[in-house]
Structure 1
Amino acid sequence: MTAIATTAPTTVARPRPLADVLTMLRRSLLRAVRYPGLTVFIVAGPLVMLLLFVYVFGGAFGAGVAPGVTPGADGRAAYLDYITPTLLVITVVGGATSVAVSAAMDAASGIMARFKTMAISPGSVLSGHVLGFVVQALVALVLVLGAAVAMGYRPEADALDWLALLGLFVLLGIALNWLCVAMGLNARSVETASNTPMILLLLPFLGSGFVPVETMPTAVRWFAEHQPFTPIIDTVRGLLAGGAGLEGSTAVQAVAWCVVIGVAGYVWARSLFRRERRL
């Protein structure tokens, strides 16, 4: 009788989306610990702006944003209340610009091409970047808000307001991070990736972040009223003030802008990730 040789069936590893995302998230957080430069940048920028705008310009600017306030100490206190929400939003934006650099570094080094050959969920590679920098941004938000409180800022938000703020910041972080991941993958070099998202840092200056839009010329005011960061900043400002002056339509616009930015960034990033990188 002739023996028939049999072979065991080959087991093909299948991607596990949730486990793969958690692995990539852990990788992103470990990188932040080992290379803290980007994380320091996320915190240092808003802190410097907080000190500069409050202690140098705040005495004069405060009288412009709060009617009846006299320049000087009262003006600084009023401007601290006005600018703190803006700098919290800028903190999230700064974290998003950092993720563009991180994504470009992975793409340029070839590690993303290596990930494509592995049995892992394709979306987990990018999701790890996004979620990792959301966590870093939330830590940075606590530090910046703590500095503002130490300078005299006193938010009036209740538990529901804080919960809404957390949700808005997470949504904003995810949206901007997806957009900046796409910018990083689209960049031809790491240096280009660090410069492309700078437009996002300029937009709060062209909105209600530092002065009321009512004080702007007509054309600039129109742009300020119809760009994403004005309703986002106004919503954060209203929630920190305990809902004072916050209109429901403004909050809806803020959430809508975050969703639009996030979906556009996600679609763009996934398309770039599938495409072979040509340097």
Structure 2
Amino acid sequence: MNSIDLNADLGEGFGAWRLGDDDALLDVVTSANVACGFHAGDPSTMATVCRRAVEKGVAIGAQVGYRDLAGFGRRRIDYAHDELRDDIVYQIGALEAFCRIAGDRVRYVKPHGALYNTAAVDELQASAVVAAVVAYDTSLPVLCQPGSVLARRAAETGLTVVGEGFADRGYLPDGRLVPRSRPDALVHDPDEVVARVVRMAVDGSVTAVDGSTVECRVRSICLHGDTPGAVRLARAVRDGLAGRLTVQAF
């Protein structure tokens, strides 16, 4: 692999509340996972982020989540398969409207938060995510953890799967992310974050919290926009990849 995508969750403000520096991150990333109004975001925020992403040549993806504004989509919700499928289709369609106004379209789908983690291990929710993408547009890639249930189900259905690594998240020995409730969920040292990203992008592996090596073959790296120093860290990651890989959307 001679190129890597950098993505970030954007448009996660709501009403008077703003989260992260979307404009600054759009100068760094190549793909924007835009919140679609269920776990975060609202119509005006979606419209603004889509317009600015198009202006900066950044690919737009639907960041779909549970219907959980109060919990920021980080609390697992048990759904019936068809209800979750329809909620995801609704979110993709809403973002598509603002993409069209801005002169582009939705380029991929990425689950958010608890839906991301649940679909990585749960057959029903993974199949609901896949069913939504299949119903809406089979050309849309699914951005998810390599080796996850969602990755397998999407591939079995013929969808394009884009493996994703996380710049500043701790990994368990089985390849899953360390739960955010644990103190080792996030990696804070900028030099360590950059080194981890380069290793994932170049070697396809990452060091887990117990010191073991975990295979992690990725085409995209997630840079969180809601952590302290997020923009500075994102720029450090992009600079660290310079000369090794071309940074571009998948």
Q: TM-score normalized by structure 2?
A: 0.28
Greater share of strand residues, 1 or 2? Answer: 2
Pick the structure with more helix per residue.
1
Larger Cα-atom Rg: 1
- Give the TM-score of the pair, scaled to structure 1: 0.26
